[in-house]
Amino acid sequence: MTWLADTRTSYDTVAVQYSDQVRNSPTENPYVRSTLALFADLVSGGPVADVGCGPGHVTAHLRKLGLDAFGIDLSPGMVDVARREYPDTRFAIGSMTDLPLADASLGGLITWWSLIHVPAEELPGVFAHFRRVLRPGGTLLVGFHEGDRINRKTQGYGGLPMNVHVHLHPVARMRTWLTAAGFAVESETVLTPADKAPAAIVFAR
């Protein structure tokens, strides 16, 4: 798929710069900090996958909260950075479109702004994989840009070139996809920062 190749290449290109920018983000924003703490409380046991983990900053934070968290990312460059930054944490290369995990093997799964480059027509298949790998009652946390448009991103972190599309979705549409995949949506929150697109956070089981 062209979009997968473009996403992989783009994030390989900006991996170091992106890591420098987001390293402290799990603790800087109180809403993010409290959301991740709630996720840690809701996971009832078993390993947790951070799918689309990027440079591993959220994965590492979840481990500090007591979870057996590991990361998966499409970009080898991002995984290299994550392994270097957090050598005691497991990271693997993989795609959420063909998730390399066993059925019912996870207690929790987080996809933290890593769905934003996935075309809408691919999301039902992605959520089917999430449902497959989670145990019954397992907790899913989804963070994404809220809206109803597609933006093209040609320049990224550190001014380096990228070639990705950024998909914004209404919360109601995300809920429909999750329900169709077999999830029960338990909580929906929309944050509205003054200088950025609204941020949506959804908890489901």
pLDDT, tens digit only, all 205 positions of the chain: 799 999 999 999 999 999 998 888 888 989 999 999 999 999 998 899 999 999 999 999 999 999 999 999 999 999 999 999 999 999 999 999 999 999 999 999 999 999 999 999 999 999 999 999 999 999 999 999 999 999 999 998 888 999 999 999 999 999 999 999 999 999 999 999 877 889 999 999 9
Of the CA atoms within 13 Å of residue 6, those in its CB half-sphere come to 16
* 3-class state of residue 124 by DSSP: helix
Tokens standing for 156? 């990224």
Strands 134-145 and 106-112: parallel
Tell how many helices (H) and how many strands (E) occur in the chain: 7, 9
Q: Judge if pTM exceeds 0.85.
A: yes
* Residue 196, pLDDT score: 81
What sign for the dihedral angle of Cα 31, 70, 114, 137? negative
